[in-house]
């Protein structure tokens, strides 16, 4: 009953993102897939997608 801001389980980045997607959709790598990412931690997922799109967004300065 207390909100802490902490993750329950592993952070969904890198290989963890691939693991979770594969758990939810076991055959996703056997079909056409589109992946979009904007950080280096998205690379493991994008490397497995049929069509991968990566975009680096510059840091906004005050």
For the chain, the structural domain boundaries read 15-54
Geometric angle at alpha carbon 26, from 38 and 34, rounded to 5°: 30
pLDDT tens column, 43-60: 999 999 999 999 977 777
* Whole-number pLDDT of residue 5: 77
pLDDT tens column, 3-57: 787 777 788 899 999 999 999 999 999 999 999 999 999 999 999 999 999 997 7
């Amino acid at each position: 009953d207390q909100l802490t801001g902490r993750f329950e389980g592993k952070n969904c980045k890198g290989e963890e993102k691939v693991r979770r997607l594969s758990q939810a959709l076991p055959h996703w790598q056997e079909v056409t897939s589109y992946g979009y990412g904007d950080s280096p931690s998205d690379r493991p997922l994008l490397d497995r997608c049929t069509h991968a799109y990566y975009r680096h967004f510059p840091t906004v300065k005050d």
